[in-house]
Structures are given as C-alpha cells and as structure tokens.
Amino acid sequence: SAVISQKPSRDICQRGTSLTIQCQVDSQVTMMFWYRQQPGQSLTLIATANQGSEATYESGFVIDKFPISRPNLTFSTLTVSNMSPEDSSIYLCSVTEGDRVAHFGPGTRLTVT
Amino acid sequence: KQEVTQIPAALSVPEGENLVLNCSFTDSAIYNLQWFRQDPGKGLTSLLLIQSSQREQTSGRLNASLDKSSGRSTLYIAASQPGDSATYLCAVTRGSTLGRLYFGRGTQLTVWP
C-alpha cells in the first residue's frame, strides 16, 4: 500500500501568516486529497488535487484561502493562508489506490496563535 | 448532503469484551464504506472496506457489516484488548470519485486491563 509522508508534522504559527504543508507519496497516483480535522470534529474534505490541472474545492473552501499545488504524480502542497485561530486543525493528505482503500498521511497539526 | 453519524461517541470497557460500534448514513447511494482507526499523532489506518454490493468483511477479530438500504454499518470487535484503544472512524465514498469521503465524528474506545 502507498506510504505517505507529510511535512511539517506540527507547527505553531501566528495569526495572519501562511503555512505550506507538503505531502509526498511513494508511488504515482492520479488524485490526491486534502482533509481537515478541527478539534473534536470529523474529517472534512478540502479539495481534490489532480496533476496538471487546478484543484477542485469542496463547498466552503476557496482557492485564495487554501491554494494547492500538484506539480507531479507523487507530490502536492496545501497552503493555509492568512491564518486565524479557527484554522487550528490537523491537515491530512490522502490517496486511494486500485484496491479502493484510502490511505492517509500522518497529518500536520497546526496551531494558530 | 450525506451525513454520517457514529454511536456511541465514547466507549470504555474492560479487556476481553466483545464490542459493537455503530455507523449510520443518510444517503444510501454509496460506492463503499470504510472503517478506520485513528491513533494520536499517527494519522488514519484503514481497517476494513466494504463495497456497496457486499454485506460484510472480516479481518482477524474485526467484522464489519453493511446494510445499504437502511443506511447502517456496524463494526464488531471480538475479545477486545488494550491495544484496541483508539478512535474508530466510519467513512462513505462521496459520489463516483474514490477517495472523496464523508466521515463520521468517530467513537473513542478505551479498553482497560
């Protein structure tokens, strides 16, 4: 199964700044998915990232706030822009392989002060 | 909009007990349903995947059932162990894109020796 790594594993950021989260997969995948898990809440899909095209955002999420890059078939970045304390969450990237099982990275724990 | 509900929110049991975790979803038009466990700081680990055409899946001490018509799934854990302590998440696939998932809030399980 796919092995997914994320950087950083955690960060503490100040309000108004931006953070870019990296996701690396050990195999080529068509689609990568970014999720957010706010404290005490379930995971919510932010966007789907396809290589060579713009990401597709879910309702409630916009590109200006969460720009995503997908330069190749094994890598993606999610930027959390102009952060506020409400952005404090765990951010996870995910891929689904031919077995249809969703595999997740270890997550990035973001705290905004 | 698909909504996924998990009951109970938390469960604390002594080692050796057999457990049932419940998941319900509002839209029966799903492609598959997956059960995950989430350990602090370790992302999500896939436990079982049930295709919409299947009724159950088994892996070791775990058994998951699916009743798509009633919008319900259960995860049965036999002979629970302290190492089973984690948060268990249920997720259904959104539309036709594998990897786009709706999650429940999870059941936090504690198994004490």
pLDDT digits (tens, 9 = 90+) for A13-45: 999 999 999 999 999 999 999 999 999 888 999
Minimum mean pLDDT range among A96-105, B23-32, B48-57, B59-68: A96-105
Which one of B24, B42, B103 makes the best mutation probe of the A interface by having the most chain A beta carbons within 10 Å? Answer: B103
CA distance B16 to A64: 51
Phi and psi of A13, rounded to 5°?
-125, 155
Q: Does residue A44 contact residue B94 with C-beta atoms inside 8 Å? A: no
What are the tokens at B27?
């839209």
Q: Judge whether A11 is closer than 8 Å to chain B, CB to CB.
A: no
Instruction: Tell the burial category of B108 from Cβ atoms under 10 Å away from its Cβ (0-12, 13-18, 19+).
Output: middle
Beta carbon pairs, A and B, within 8 Å: 63
What are the tokens at A6?
């994320």
